[in-house]
Amino acid sequence: MRPRRPLDPRRQRLKLLALIAIFALPLMTAWAMVEWRIGIPEQRTAHGELVPDIPPLAQWPLTDRDSEADADTWLLAFDCSLDCAALADQWWRLHRALGREAPRLARLRIGGAGEALPGERLARWQGQAPAWQTPGRVWLLAPGGEALLTYSSEVEARDVLDDINHLLRVNPESRSQRERQVSQR
């Protein structure tokens, strides 16, 4: 049997420094990124445009007052004056793509002909449409009826779905008092 060599203190220190570096370098890198704003995006951008100047849904000149917003439901309102059947189908498919989050969103079709698709409400503009409305425009409204985002008629449904998923994720569902009582039993 060979005699054991004594441990080299320099080699042991080098191993210790390498171990410390493995854990410290990511922390120091993250600190430098935050401190000097290197490699960090300046902002998170939604695919739609923010619309602070559009009035709440209750003030929209609509013929159907059944279109009022629920307290817990997000609303996807869309102008259906151009190619209505295709638009209604596109937004119905987007609604289905939400999966288990679908009950948290309702759709409001403004204008157009034909029957309402499942989960869709129908309304029409009273007289002349407001100045902020353009054909094919889509609005995403928060619970309570405040307009958050608007999209042009050329928007990709995938982009709208990304924004809706993000909003539903950062705004968890509030359960009603009755649901809480049932779940506690």
Residue range 114-173, pLDDT digits in tens: 788 888 888 888 888 888 888 888 999 998 888 889 998 888 999 999 999 988 988 887
Q: What is the mean pLDDT of residues 79-99?
A: 89
What mean pLDDT, rounded, does the chain reach? 83
pLDDT for the residue numbered 65: 55
In this structure, what is the dihedral angle of CA atoms 78, 84, 87, 89, given to the nearest 10 degrees? 120
Which residue did the predictor score with more confidence, 1 or 54? 54
pLDDT for the residue numbered 141: 92
pLDDT for the residue numbered 70: 64
| Highest CATH level, class, for 49-170 | alpha beta
Say what the pTM is: 0.68
pLDDT for the residue numbered 6: 73
Please report, for the chain, the start and end positions of each structural domain, with discontinuous segments joined by +: 49-170
Question: How far is Cα 170 from Cα 35, in angstroms, rounded to an integer?
Answer: 26
Express as a percent the part of the chain with pLDDT over 70.
Answer: 86
Min mean pLDDT across 3-12, 104-113, 140-149, 150-159 is at 3-12
User: CA nearest 125: which of 116, 117, 135?
Assistant: 135
